[in-house]
Structure 1
Amino acid sequence: MSAQQTPAKTAVVTGASSGIGAATARQLAAAGYHVYCAARRVDRIEALAAEIGGTAVECDVTSEESVTRLAEVVGERLDVLVNNAGGAFGASPVSAADSDEWRQMYEVNVIGLMQVTRALLPALVATGAGAILNVGSTAGRIAYEGGAGYTAAKHGTQVVTETLRLELWDQPVRIMEIAPGMVKTDEFALVRFEGDREKAEAVYAGVAEPLVAEDIADAITWMVTRPAHVNIDELVIRPRAQAAQHKVHRT
């Protein structure tokens, strides 16, 4: 590299194989970042990395060994971490809750977020202007019937974010959270309802314009590209049709 060239800024996006993660990887790449696309589905992240000139890293955020490997690939310096890996599994009331589904949600939305953050924090500090953005949810702010496992996990995401901001107050790292409301992606609702497309489509039935992954990616890119002294603590983003978690205009 010549003296005139400046190395590209780098970003890690977890859960980059689809939805918000893939869209965020694309938009960060368009903004000039070299993006490490981290996810379990290797075929998808390899295709994405080839498309955007990034690096595919197979990673299961719930595995410490896998996360350690991610940190090794990233190296000593990192500008942006987007903790996007997450998910909702099932919609049973507490009285009929599936313990394994609850454990899975906590593992990926809270433990996984912690493990990735812990592993990559030294590299973020090393840049002198790192940024951590956690993808939470409006479910992390209000309860609703059938969502206790997911809302508990996303409340966990929010509280971990707030705690990090307090603990890293004297370090050169910004700590942010985006909390999307109704976002229609290819997989989120389908995964939640175990492939039942009718139930998945019912979530968005009659909503003329739910948010899409690109809307969230656009907001994430804006948040992390503010000047280093500007911290967007949290951004709640919903479609215009969703006035609140329970109040959605359907035609």
Structure 2
Amino acid sequence: MTCGINTSFSLVFGSIFSFAGDIRNVDDLEELFSQTKFDAVILANPMRYFDNNLVGSLNLYKLMAKHKLVFSSSATVYGQPDKIPCVAMNPYGRTKLFLEEIAQDLHKADQKWRIILLRYFNPVGAHESGMLVEDPRGIPNNLMPYITQVAVGRLPELNVYGHDYPTPDGSAIICLPIRDYIHVMDLADGDVVALEKFLQRNDIGCVAYNLGTGRGTSVLEMVAAFEKATGKKLPIKLCPRRPGDATAVYASTDKAERELGWK
């Protein structure tokens, strides 16, 4: 059995059964692992940073009797890259980087550990059925729900944070941060092929893959694409930079295509 774990508030497992508990509570995890046997564990993308990411994940590491893990990491481990591949710029990215380093140390110390680290870039979109969508309350933290809420009039304008970055944007005046936006269903496919490799191979070790398009896109380019597709003009407000935001974050996905057959 494979389980997915959401560390935000409680432990939630696939369609077979659910277990109410807290990943930060060792007793809850002990009860869960004593009840059933898992083939693999997928650690989902948490939101409570140091408490959930570090404390909860370390508790989970301790109780993974089968020593198998697929860890959904984050592109934030790259920070503002130059020649050094991983230098996180904010607390969230640092927690992900710490956990990747811990995972690597676990494998070095005990070769029985098999670990796949999936570095997600910026997920956008929804399931094609329309039943699974991102529709947050309040002002969204992610770009696409922000754009769509402005488009339907729920929010008055799209705040664009930072317009003085040294990046080409297709505009002679405005220079915006560059991100790699990837459809959420493509990420789901990446999870599936990674898990398939994980279950079929015993010689994985500890390996990381970038799950993205490998291309950078600015906020204004995303807005222009949305406007072209919908015929809806969006009001935009240029705002100051946010601390901890990198100028450009995208990376090669050649390794995922070569070793996982995913693109």
Normalising by structure 2, report the TM-score.
0.56
Mapping of 1:27-106 within 5 angstroms?
40=10, 49=15, 54-74=16-36, 77-87=37-47, 104-106=48-50
CA contact (8 A) 2:124 2:144 kept: no
User: Of 107, 130, 141, which residue of structure 1 is paired with 2:78?
Assistant: 141
Cα separation, 2, equivalents of 1:165 and 1:248: 42
Please identify runs of 4+ aligned residues in structure 1 that moved more than 4 A.
202-207, 246-249
Tell me which residue corresponds to 1:228. Answer: 201
Query: What SS class does the counterpart of residue 19 from structure 2 fall into?
Result: strand
Mapping of 1:122-137 within 5 angstroms?
122=65, 124-125=66-67, 131-137=68-74
In the alignment, structure 1 residue 11 sits paired with structure 2 residue 15: no
Considering fraction of residues, name the structure with more helix.
Answer: 1
Cα separation, 2, equivalents of 1:176 and 1:108: 20
Cα separation, 2, equivalents of 1:152 and 1:224: 25
Change (3 A) 1:116 1:140: same
What is the number of residues matched between the two proteins?
177
Mapping of 1:209-228 within 5 angstroms?
210-226=181-197, 227-228=200-201
Deviation (angstroms), 1:105? 1.0
CA contact (8 A) 1:164 1:175 kept: no
CA contact (8 A) 1:67 1:116 kept: yes
Tell me which residue corresponds to 2:168. Answer: none
Tell me which residue corresponds to 1:113. Answer: 57
Change (3 A) 1:155 1:248: farther
Tell me which residue corresponds to 2:139. Answer: 197
Q: Percent identity?
A: 10
Tell me which residue corresponds to 1:29. Answer: none
Q: What is the root-mean-square deviation of aligned Cα atoms in Å?
A: 3.6
Residues 37-57 of structure 1 deviation map (CA, whole Å, 9 limit, x = unaligned):
xx7287xx6xx62xxxx1211
Change (3 A) 1:137 1:247: farther
Structure 1 unaligned regions, length at least 5: 1-9, 18-38, 88-103, 126-130
Letter in 2 for 1:110: L
Query: What SS class does the counterpart of residue 178 from structure 1 fall into?
Result: strand
Query: What SS class does the counterpart of residue 197 from structure 1 fall into?
Result: coil
Normalising by structure 1, report the TM-score.
0.58
Cα separation, 2, equivalents of 1:143 and 1:132: 28
CA contact (8 A) 1:15 1:86 kept: yes
Query: What SS class does the counterpart of residue 99 from structure 2 fall into?
Result: helix
Residues 212-247 of structure 1 deviation map (CA, whole Å, 9 limit, x = unaligned):
43322221221122232342701111245536xx89
Letter in 1 for 2:6: G
Query: What SS class does the counterpart of residue 57 from structure 1 fall into?
Result: coil
Query: What SS class does the counterpart of residue 233 from structure 1 fall into?
Result: strand
Cα separation, 2, equivalents of 1:234 and 1:214: 20
CA contact (8 A) 2:45 2:73 kept: no
Residues 12-60 of structure 1 deviation map (CA, whole Å, 9 limit, x = unaligned):
210199xxxxxxxxxxxxxxxxxxxxx7287xx6xx62xxxx1211232
Deviation (angstroms), 1:85? 4.7
Cα separation, 2, equivalents of 1:64 and 1:157: 18
Cα separation, 2, equivalents of 1:111 and 1:224: 24
Change (3 A) 1:41 1:225: closer
User: Of 181, 184, 195, which residue of structure 1 is paired with 2:124?
Assistant: 184
